[in-house]
């Protein structure tokens, strides 16, 4: 019996030893912390392509898809915005019939309105169909407002030399600025894009089915792409196996104890 309980104790210590490692992996990751159902503050100030300061509460008056980027990003920002332009071109949504908008906000405080205007012109051309110019807007902000917006969206990023490492994805807001859904990665289905708009119009919060994919893949700043996070997945598998092993040992001790009593 003593040997069995020693095994249980050892397995328990292994579990406890593994938990901080997983927590550290999660703490260091650049990803979205989902804030589904939360309201993004309306007093965040953004600067539009013409250099005009506007409040977020004045901008978000319809379903709004938000991408956090920076304009000189050498990594995933370009493929992310290219994908948004492609999906927008393929989508059956018509802004005059189903109001919606996209806003791309730079989290680099040094980016300028002139850069935002150039980005807007380039990406509206990529859409491939005529859309009202206000359908897709590009904004800059100062550091305080960047911090407020990224914090509210759960967008975690960090500086890496002269660049940033950050996740790719879209946060979808209702007209009341409630976060209703996240779309992760650099590729999206038109269906998910359209459903996000419809659900945002109704204020419906939907869990993110792609959350598992975000956990299994992480951004590689050297390759500037998403890669399979083997260490994280193996860690979870090991901890899960240990938990089941502890449960199995406990079951055996109970069975043996009953056998001796009989």
What digits encode the pLDDT tens for the residues 65-89? Answer: 999 999 999 989 999 999 999 999 9
* Domain 45-207: top CATH class: alpha beta
With a CB cutoff of 8 Å and minimum separation 6, the contacts of 2 are none
**pLDDT tens-digit profile of 34-67?**
999 999 999 999 999 999 999 999 999 999 999 9
**pLDDT tens-digit profile of 128-177?**
888 898 999 999 999 999 999 999 999 999 998 889 999 999 999 999 99
- What is the spatial distance between Cα 138 and Cα 35, in angstroms, rounded to a whole number? 23
Name the average pLDDT for the chain: 81
**pLDDT tens-digit profile of 108-133?**
999 999 999 999 999 999 998 888 98
CB atoms within 10 A of CB 33: 11
- What is the spatial distance between Cα 216 and Cα 221, in angstroms, rounded to a whole number? 16
């Amino acid at each position: 019996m003593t040997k069995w309980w020693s095994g249980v104790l050892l397995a328990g210590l292994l579990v406890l030893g593994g938990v901080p490692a997983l927590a550290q992996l999660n703490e260091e990751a650049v990803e979205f912390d989902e804030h589904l159902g939360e309201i993004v503050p309306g007093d965040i100030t953004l600067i539009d392509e013409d250099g005009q300061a506007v409040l977020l509460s004045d901008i978000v008056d319809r379903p709004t898809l938000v991408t956090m980027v920076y304009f000189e990003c050498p990594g995933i920002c370009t493929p992310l915005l290219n994908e948004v332009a492609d999906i927008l071109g393929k989508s059956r949504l018509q802004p005059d019939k189903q109001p919606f908008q996209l806003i791309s906000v730079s989290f680099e405080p040094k980016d300028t309105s002139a850069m935002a205007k150039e980005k807007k012109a380039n990406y509206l051309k990529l859409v491939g169909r005529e859309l009202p110019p206000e359908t897709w807007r590009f904004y800059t902000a100062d550091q305080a407002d960047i911090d407020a917006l990224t914090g509210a969206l759960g967008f975690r990023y960090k500086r890496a030399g002269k660049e940033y490492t950050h996740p790719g994805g879209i946060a979808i807001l209702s007209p009341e600025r409630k976060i209703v859904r996240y779309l992760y990665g650099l590729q999206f289905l038109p269906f998910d894009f359209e459903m996000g708009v419809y659900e945002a119009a109704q204020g419906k919060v939907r869990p993110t089915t792609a959350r598992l994919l975000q956990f299994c893949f992480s951004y590689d700043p050297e390759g500037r792409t998403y890669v399979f996070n083997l260490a994280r997945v193996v860690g979870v598998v090991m901890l899960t196996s240990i938990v089941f092993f502890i449960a199995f040992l406990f079951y055996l001790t109970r069975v043996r104890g009953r056998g001796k009593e009989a």
